[in-house]
Amino acid sequence: MSKTWEKCLTTLRDTVDLHTFSLWIRPLKALEDPITLSLLAPNTSVLDYVNGNLKKEIKAAIAQHSKNLEVYIGVSPQKKGTVQSIKQHKTPLFADYTFDNLVLGGANQIAYGAAQQIAENIKNPLYNPFIIYGNSGLGKTHLMQATGHLAKEKDPSIKVLYVPLMDFVKNITSSLRHNTIEDIKLYYQSADLLLVDDIHFIAKKDKSQEEFFHIFNFLFSTKKQIIFTCDQPPKNIKNVEERLKTRFSQGLTLEISPPELEMRAAILLKKANNKKININLTEDIALFIAGHITSNVRDLEGALLKLKAYVDFSKIDHSFISKDLVESALGDLIKPPIKNIDINDIQKETAKHYAFTVSDLSSKSRKQHTVLARQMAIAIAHELTGLSLTNIGKHFGNRDHSTVLHSVDKIKKRVEEEAEIKSDYELIKLKLANL
C-alpha cells in the first residue's frame, strides 16, 4: 500500500464518521508513483459516491501529507476471470412468475400494490428494504420475482439479481475457499434490484451474516432496491445479529395471508387454463375444490396436477370435469362433509351473503329476497347442525316446525331446479367449512 495513503487513512478516520469510512474509503486501493497517487474504487457506484461526497476530504488529507502529488480517482480494472466466475452465481427469474400470472385477492392485495410501486420506481426506492413474509406456499417468491420482471420491463438497462439465501451461503463459502470473496461481494453490490428468497435461513451463519451486512449497507447507501422473503417477521428470527435485524426494520414489512375461498377458486381457474394443465374447470367445480383444499397455493397446484393426471390416464374428456370426477380423483384430499356447525355462524354467513343483518332473518318481513335468505339459512341449518325443526325455528323468530320444514323443502326443490340457488347454497356451505 502507498505510504502516503496509509497516513491519509489515519487522518480520514478522524475526519469522517466510522460508517462512511468503512463503507466508502476503506475499499479504495492506492497506487503511488513519484508524481501521482491513484485511488481505485472497486466499482462505479463507489466511484460516483466518493466523487460526489468525499473528494474534498480526501484531497485535503492527501495535501496534508504530500502537497506535490497529483490525485487521480478511478475504477479498478476487472481481474481476468472475474466475469466468468461471477456468471456461475447468477440465478435467473422464473418466466411464469409475473404480475400477469398472479391472482389478486385480499390475502396479497397490499403487498401487490407495494411491489408494483417499487417496480415502477426502481431508481428512487420507496420502501427499502421491502420484506414479504408468510407461511410456505403462499406466493411470496412469485410476487417478489414479478417485481423484478416489471422493473426490467420498465427499464431493460437495470440489473436484477435473484438468489435463494442458501445459494448465497454456498457462494460465500465457495468464495472464501477460493479467495474470491471480493468478487462475489462486487457481484451482489452491482445489483440495481437484489431479490433474496428465504432470508430466515441466514440464522446461525455468522460469516454469511457479516458479508450480507456489508452488501446490504452498500446497496442501501447507493439507493439500490432490496427485497426479501421470510417465513416470519424478521424481528422474530432467532440467531441473527441485531445490526441485521435493525437494517431489516428500516423498510416496509408486509404479510401474505392464506388465500380466502374465492381467491383459491380464482387461482385454480387461472392455473387450469395454463398450457401445462389445460383442463376445463367451471366456477362451481373450482369453488368445490377450493372449499376442501384450504392450506396454500402449492397444495392447490398439487390437487390440480393430480386431477389432470387422473383425467389423462383415465382418458376422460377434458371438456367436462364433474363433482363426482373430482371426488374420485382427489378422494384423499377432500375433507369429510361438515357437520355440527354452530347455527349462529350459519345465520351470520347467510346474512353476509345476501347483504342482510342477522336480525333480518328472524324478522316478520315477507319481502321476497328476505324470505329467500331466511329459507336458505334454515335449510343449511337443517343439513349441518343436527338440531330439531323446533329448535331451528326458535333461532328464526320462534317459527314453528311446519314453517321450518316448508323452508327446507322449498330450498331443496329450488336447488334442484335453479342453478343460481344451487350455487348460493354450496358457496355458503363452503364458507362455513372454512371458518
pTM of this structure: 0.63
At 29, the amino acid letter reads K
Per-residue pLDDT of the chain (435 residues; tens, 9 = 90+): 688 898 889 899 888 887 778 778 888 888 887 788 888 887 777 888 888 888 889 988 888 888 778 888 887 765 544 444 444 445 578 888 999 888 888 888 899 999 999 999 988 888 999 999 998 888 899 999 999 999 999 998 888 999 999 988 888 888 888 888 888 888 888 889 999 999 999 888 888 888 888 889 888 888 899 999 999 888 888 888 888 888 888 889 999 988 888 888 888 988 888 777 888 888 888 888 888 887 788 888 888 888 888 888 877 766 778 888 888 888 767 755 555 688 999 999 999 999 999 999 999 888 999 999 999 999 999 988 878 888 999 999 999 989 999 999 999 999 888 888 988 888 888 788 766
Predicted local confidence at residue 137, as pLDDT:
84
DSSP label at residue 230: E
Predicted local confidence at residue 82, as pLDDT:
46
Q: Could you identify the residue written with the cell 451486512?
A: 213
Predicted local confidence at residue 84, as pLDDT:
42
Q: Measured between alpha carbons, how far is residue 175 from residues 76, 183, 208, 211, 235 in Å?
A: 20, 8, 11, 11, 29
Residues 133-159 as b/e (b if ≥16 CB within 10 A, e otherwise) read: bbeebbbbbbbbbbbbbbbbeeeeebe
Residues 207-243 as b/e (b if ≥16 CB within 10 A, e otherwise) read: ebbebbeebbbbbbebebbbbbbbbeebeebeebeee
Q: Could you identify the residue written with the cell 489515519?
A: 10
**Could you tell me the domains of the chain?**
3-75 (3.30.300.180), 109-255 (3.40.50.300), 261-329 (1.10.8), 343-433 (1.10.1750.10)
Predicted local confidence at residue 430, as pLDDT:
77
Query: Nearest to residue 294, comparing CAs of 432, 104, 110?
Result: 432
